[in-house]
Structure 1
Amino acid sequence: MLPYKRPAILMSLAVLFSSLTACANIPTAKNLEQSLAADPRLQNNPAIFAETQEGEAQAGQNQPTLQLPADFPKDIPLYPNAELQEVTPTSGSENKVSTRWLSFDPSNLITSFYRNQFQTNNWQVLQQPPDEAGGAFEARRNNLLVKVSIQPQSVTNSTANQPQTATTLLIEYTPNTTTTQPNPTTSPSETTDNPPQPGDPQFIGPIPQTNLATQSENTVEGQTTTTATSTSQEFSDLNKAPQELRQYIQDLTGLGVFSINSQTNKSNSNVPTNQFEPAKTITRREYARWLVATNNAMYASNPAKQIRLAAETTQPAFSDVSKTDPDFPEIQGLAEAGLIPSSLSGDSTTVLFRPDAPLTREQLILWKVPLDTRQALPSANLDAVKQTWGFQDVGKIDPKALRAVLADFQNGEQSNIRRVFGYTTLFQPKKPVTRAEAAAALWYFGTQGEGISAVEALKVKTPQN
């Protein structure tokens, strides 16, 4: 059927064009011819069509592109295959900025990237995901706090209209500024002259290290007693401490846990109070004092987790620490709490505390780990410790300390041994501990996900009256 229709169609077109040509002078024909003619503007100026196309192309290019804030810290690592989606200030009084990113890479690659970046660039990791599936990192470097949240999700591909794996990154940071944002109700002089103080919502920490002694008044049965609570000071010899341990010392100094040492350690009265002496071996009495002071400062708002100091009327647990010893309340308090071996805990052979003897590595762990786990330590033997830690000198560890060493391994990234000594296959249990190493051990109390660091304690610490 179709072959027979083609001649008819061609014949009709020929008749139409012939009619238009023959009737060119008829007004109706002229109108029809003009309607079918090309646009004269295009004939006279062909560039119009090209300009139209360029304008349409440039319309999309002139759309404003999202950029990072001008004060975005260069220290924060950025995942190379992520695209910035949104920049918003965090609501509330905290001076934080939040940036949202999107990447089509799997979350395990991004988690591994940030784990490596924080570890190799001297970041202080406060929190990190337990596995590579995703989670939140919280890290600190040079007073810059940053939180990176990695969340896998599924998006729809606009071209193929099919679900596609993607990962959302949320990077929140606190700009490291010395002045606060102007408040409409305050004058500029008030803004610059009065930076955030401890207790203010915008205060991040560490607490400014000054030589001012603060005092608190305690009322007990109508009697008012004044007790020195902290003498935060700036140590002038922190440059002698290992680089990876300096921040631990600074944070604990902000809590005031070292100030007691400068007040009560009369044997070292010739040592300037602004000297921390990070490489010096710490004694057992000093560590007992720091341990109690730091624990109680960390849990200042939770009396159930504080260590009670012994009263002067208490019968001494050790024959070489009398009631008149300046550190008797702390040492006796640890013994009565069962945190250090003594006759009170059933160890009848431990009658001496040896307060001025050097603290060893195994004693550091034995005293500290029970305050991390807050529960009975697991059963342990030499084989279990060797299989977990891989220590070549596991046979030199005191049997009393084996359980604490094994429990410390189970604490993962918050392990005291990892934080203080780094990676090692030799524990050297009898080796003396330095003051800097002791500070690193006391910087965090608790287990992974359920603990508190000195940084967090500084944020919630209220100013003394």
Structure 2
Amino acid sequence: MLPCKNPAVFLSLAVFLSSLTACANSPTAKNLEQSLAADPQLQTNPVVFGEPKDQQPQTQPNQSTVQLPVDFPQDIPIYPNAKLETVTPATDTEKKVSTRWLSADPSNFITNFYTNQFQANNWQINQKPSDDVGGVFEAQRNNVLVKVSIQAQSVTNPAPNQPQTATKLLIEYLPSSTTTAQATPTSSPSETETNNAQTPSGVPQPGDSQFIGPVLPTNAATQPGTVANSPVSSATTNTSVVFTDINQAPQQLREHIQDLAKLGVLSPAIQATKNNAQAKTSQFAPAKTITRREYARWLVAANNAMYANNPAKQIRLAADSAQPAFTDVSVKDPDFPAIQGLAEAGLIPSSLSGDTTAVLFRPDAPLTREQLLLWKIPLDSRQALPTASLDAVKQTWGFQDAGKIDPKALRAVLADHQNGEQSNIRRVFGYTTLFQPKKPVTRAEAAAALWYFGTQGEGISAVDALKLQRPQT
């Protein structure tokens, strides 16, 4: 046993405990017991690190997320990787609505996105940036006026989760009621009939080579929710196809045509009158031969619509300042941006790709089967075409006329066989032992070829692209 070094302490403690035992029922003992009892409030307010819970910083409720205005036009494209920061509603003095966005992507990505979106969805572009670094877009479509300002900025003292670089995006638009009032002045009945017969200045109409999208039927002006004499692209309205002659297409290709029409890719057939004027039509003319310029336009529009949320896979439209790759397609040609863009991307043979013999594009010549594949397959595989020989094509496809295929197109034909059931030849022409490489392609066949991009098991169809579009409010 350890010796006690301080007996006085033990003696005092013994006296104290004896006093408590003797006075257990006294008032003094009761007070002492209450003072030493546990605090009942500790059960609901526990002490954390020596501080009561009610002294800790309270969790702030989630702040309400900024929402787009109810009247935000669905036609206006929104950059996928942009965050809405503020919304400034219209006032009596300032009629436009302003929405401010912030994106971590470079400004050239956003500029290219809006260039392709406005071009593919048939916007009338009144102003566009001089380069891809940034600037201002001003566009108009279906009585919607929009101004998109893109400004790159560098962040000097970024927050922990904020990127070092960012791009500011300002989207301003006039509400539909304002634009309708401005676009439809009061006039007499006779003047109204005259104005309805005219087309908006500078806006491509059905029958024009720049028009993309199905046209409204002749009685569309009487249907609710439609705008008379305005080309409506189903890429944004997501309505049923309005072509009146789809039943004339082969049954296996009808759904392909309808899906692409909903994406706003296809244009109606042009019907020439006696005075060489272009007449409006709501017909697709599926059996009509497609020209090289039409297919080039559809190819760019379809690819960019499929990859609307993936700028890296989109085809960049050529600027007016580009040096023409073909002597018969000048910068004034309405399809110059698409044709030149394909040439600059190396998707069609030209002097830019090293083919010194391809100085003419022949935009109004019929598109052949081998040309359809030669332009389309690189967008499916996204890589260089394989080396091909005549024997290899004969062994894979078994075409009796394989010897008639142009050597340049042999590689595309062989690569298409590797896509299995998703090959363009099987989807467009069905089972055949004759490829007929020089045979002109119909508009229905061209649409079927553009219905799917990619390889077997890894690609996107027009149906998939429609599902990715923004839902209608």
Q: Which of 275, 280, 289 is 2:288 aligned to?
A: 280
1:73-116 Cα distance to aligned partner (Å, 9 max, x none): xxxxxxxxxxxxxxxxxxxxxxxxxxxxxxxxxxxxxxxxxxxx
1:303 aligned partner: 311
Question: Equivalent of 1:226, from 139, 143, 147?
Answer: 139
1:445 paired residue number: 453
What is the rounded CA distance, in whole Å, between the counterparts of 2:325 and 2:128 in structure 1? 30
Indicate the larger mover: 250-259 or 436-445. Answer: 250-259
Q: Write the mapping of 1:88-167 to structure 2, written as runs, cut at 5 A.
A: none
User: In structure 2, how many angstroms separate the alpha carbons of the residues matched to 1:215 and 1:334?
Assistant: 21
Find 1:431's aligned residue among 411, 427, 439.
Answer: 439
Instruction: Give the C-alpha shift of residue 459 in structure 1.
Output: 0.6
Indicate conservation of the 8 Å contact 1:261/1:286, yes or no. no
Q: In 2, are the aligned partners of 1:237 and 1:275 still within 8 Å (CA)?
A: yes
- Deviation string, structure 1 residues 251-285 (Cα, Å, up to 9, x no partner): 0000001248879xxx9864433110000000000
Q: Partners in 1 of 2:252 and 2:399 — Cα distance?
A: 23
Question: Within 5 Å, which residues of 2 pair with 1:162-177?
Answer: none
Contact 1:392 1:426 in 2 (8 A): yes
Q: Following superposition of structure 1 onto structure 2, how do residues 195-234 of structure 1 map, counting pairs within 5 Å?
A: 221=134, 223-226=136-139, 228=141, 231-232=233-234, 234=242
Which amino acid is 2:138 matched to?
T
Does 2:275 align with 1:253? Answer: no
8 A Cα contact 1:252 1:439, kept in partner: yes
Pair 1:242 & 2:155 matched: no
Mapped partners of 2:294, 2:257: distance in 1: 15
- 1:328 matched to 2:336? The reply is yes
The one of 337, 350, 372 aligned to 1:342: 350
Q: 2:406 is matched with which residue?
A: 398
On the 8 A contact 2:269/2:284 being kept in 1, the answer is no
- Aligned equivalents of 2:269 and 2:244: distance in 1? 16
* Distance 1:330-1:463 versus aligned 2 partners, 3 A rule: farther
8 Å CA contact 2:292–2:367 kept in 1: the answer is yes
2:390 to 377, 382, 385: 382
Q: Which residue of 1 aligns with 2:86?
A: none
CA deviation digits over 1:367-412, x for unaligned, max 9?
0000000011111010000000000000000000000000000110
Equivalent residues, number? 255
Q: SS of 1:313's equivalent?
A: coil
Contact 1:216 1:464 in 2 (8 A): no
Amino-acid identity (%): 75
Where does the alignment leave 5 or more consecutive residues of structure 2 unmatched? 1-73, 76-120, 142-211, 214-232, 235-240
* Conservation of the 8 A alpha-carbon contact between 1:214 and 1:464: no
Amino acid of the structure 2 residue aligned with 1:329 = P
Counterpart position of 2:469: 461
Listed one character per residue, the Cα deviations across residues 324-356 of structure 1 (whole Å, up to 9, x for unaligned) are 000000000000000000000000011000000
Structure 1: stretches of 5+ with no match in the other structure? 1-196, 199-212
CA contact (8 A) 1:241 1:278 kept: yes
1:312 counterpart = 2:320: yes
1:5-45: CA deviation from partner (whole Å, max 9, x where unpaired): xxxxxxxxxxxxxxxxxxxxxxxxxxxxxxxxxxxxxxxxx
Give, as a single letter, the amino acid of the residue that structure 1 aligns with 2:367.
Answer: L
Q: In structure 1, what is the Cα distance between the partners aligned to 2:128 and 2:331?
A: 24
Structure 2 distance, partners of 1:425, 1:364, is 18
Q: 2 CA distance for matches of 1:394 and 1:309? A: 34
d(CA) in 2 for partners of 1:312 and 1:354? 20
CA contact (8 A) 2:287 2:442 kept: yes
Check whether the contact 1:342–1:350 (CA below 8 A) recurs between aligned residues.
Answer: yes
2:282 and 2:384 map into 1 onto residues whose CA distance is 39
1:419–1:271: structure 2 CA closer, same or farther, 3 Å change rule?
Answer: farther
2:209 match: none
Q: Distance in 1 between matches of 2:425 and 2:439?
A: 13
- Rate the CA distance shift 1:313–1:413 in 2: closer, same or farther, 3 A: same
CA contact (8 A) 2:329 2:361 kept: yes
**Contact 1:215-1:464 within 8 A present in 2 as well:** no
Cα distance in 2 between the residues matched to 1:268 and 1:371: 36
State the distance in 2 between where 1:219 and 1:356 align.
Answer: 29
Deviation at 1:223, TM superposition (A): 2.7
Deviations 1:141-188 (A, max 9, x none): xxxxxxxxxxxxxxxxxxxxxxxxxxxxxxxxxxxxxxxxxxxxxxxx
Q: Secondary structure at the match of 1:387?
A: helix
